[in-house]
Amino acid sequence: MSENTKAFGEGMRDGVPIAVGYFAVALSIGMAARSVGLTPLQGLLASLLNNASAGEYAGFTVIAAGASYLEMALVILIANARYLLMSCALSQRLRPGTGLGHRLLMGFDVTDEIFAITIARPGWLNPFYTYGAMSLCIPCWGAGTGLGVIIGNLLPARAVSAFSVALYGMFLAVIIPPSRKSRVVACLVALSFAASYAASVAPGLSSLSAGTRTIILTVALAGGAALLFPVPAGEEAGKEGPEHA
């Protein structure tokens, strides 16, 4: 079995819990789409093309308000700006010769969850791992939205909470093991939890959207860590593990 086939299979395996969580969350997105008058096909299309929950919610409120396309572009830019940072981080983990086609395809589905599992891989990234996860996650996200428009959310509330927490579980599985290995990373994660909580209740900051708070805190905390604890040359990028691509 080739390296790429193996990576694709591993991506599918790691994509399963994401796809299940996406399906459950997408049902609610579909309900939001229906409430602003979208048809099932439009809901499906919006999800297949956007792959972003907060961004889609924000977009639907713009549609409901009948605002201009420019306003739509600005709202989506703000709601999704964190993907810009994630994409920058991914760019440093691709083998320098990686072709444009792979970059264009990987860029299509930089979501919180797929970014998380992709960046957690050791060494240079193999795009086929990401494609494996995308092959399950995108259809589930789109189908969940389309179905949500048609029938609403038919899952019991308890099941929806359980599945949406699965997505947070994936984040923990990505950030906790490196925290065990590096005291700097452990402190940074703890500080991020604390700062995120503080920002969610602080006057001013708490009125910003969660996406905007994420960007501000990421720039501040990752910037501070980079100043105080620069990563030794050779430890960043694709050099810390066995080469995978």
Partner 1 sequence: MRNVYGYIWVMAAVSYAVRVLPLTLIRRPLKSRFLQSFLYYVPYVTLAVMTFPAILDATQSPVSGLLALLAGIAAAWMGAGLFPVALVCCAVVFAAEWFL
197-236 residues in contact with partner 1 (CB under 8 A) are 197, 200, 210, 213-214, 217-218, 221-223, 225-227, 229-231, 233, 235-236
Cβ proximity to partner 1: between 80 and 147 the closer is 80
Q: In whole angstroms, how close is the CB of 39 to partner 1 at the nearest point?
A: 8
Q: Does 170 bind partner 1 (CB under 8 A)?
A: yes
In sequence order, what are the residues at sequence separation of 6 or more whose Cβ sits closer than 8 angstroms to the Cβ of residue 29? Answer: 43, 47, 53, 56, 57, 144, 145, 148
Enter the DSSP assignment of 182. -
CB atoms within 10 A of CB 206: 12
Stretch of residues binding partner 1 (CB under 8 A), selected from 1-9, 135-143, 145-153, 160-168? 160-168
Q: In whole angstroms, how close is the CB of 156 to partner 1 at the nearest point?
A: 10
Single residue of 6, 9, 63, 152 touching partner 1 by CB under 8 A: 63
Q: Does 31 bind partner 1 (CB under 8 A)?
A: no
Q: Give the CA angle between residues 211, 101, 13 to the nearest 5°.
A: 65
Single residue of 31, 155, 195, 208 touching partner 1 by CB under 8 A: 195
> Which residue type, as a one-letter code, is found at position 35?
S
x/- track of binding to partner 1 for residues 90-129 (CB under 8 A): xxx-x-x---x--xx-xxxxx-x--xxx-xx---------
Cβ proximity to partner 1: between 108 and 152 the closer is 108
Q: Does 196 bind partner 1 (CB under 8 A)?
A: yes
DSSP 34-53: HHTT--HHHHHHHHHHH--H
Single residue of 9, 57, 123, 164 touching partner 1 by CB under 8 A: 164
Q: Does 175 bind partner 1 (CB under 8 A)?
A: yes
User: HSE on the CB side for 138, CA within 13 Å?
Assistant: 17
Torsion (CA) 146, 7, 111, 232 in degrees, nearest 10: 180
Please tell me the distance from the alpha carbon of residue 104 to that of residue 84, in angstroms, as a whole number. 14
User: HSE on the CB side for 165, CA within 13 Å?
Assistant: 6
Single residue of 26, 29, 32, 56 touching partner 1 by CB under 8 A: 56
Single residue of 8, 12, 21, 140 touching partner 1 by CB under 8 A: 21
28, 148 contact by CB (below 8 A): yes
**Token pair for 115:** 């970014």
Q: Does 145 bind partner 1 (CB under 8 A)?
A: no
Q: Does 14 bind partner 1 (CB under 8 A)?
A: yes
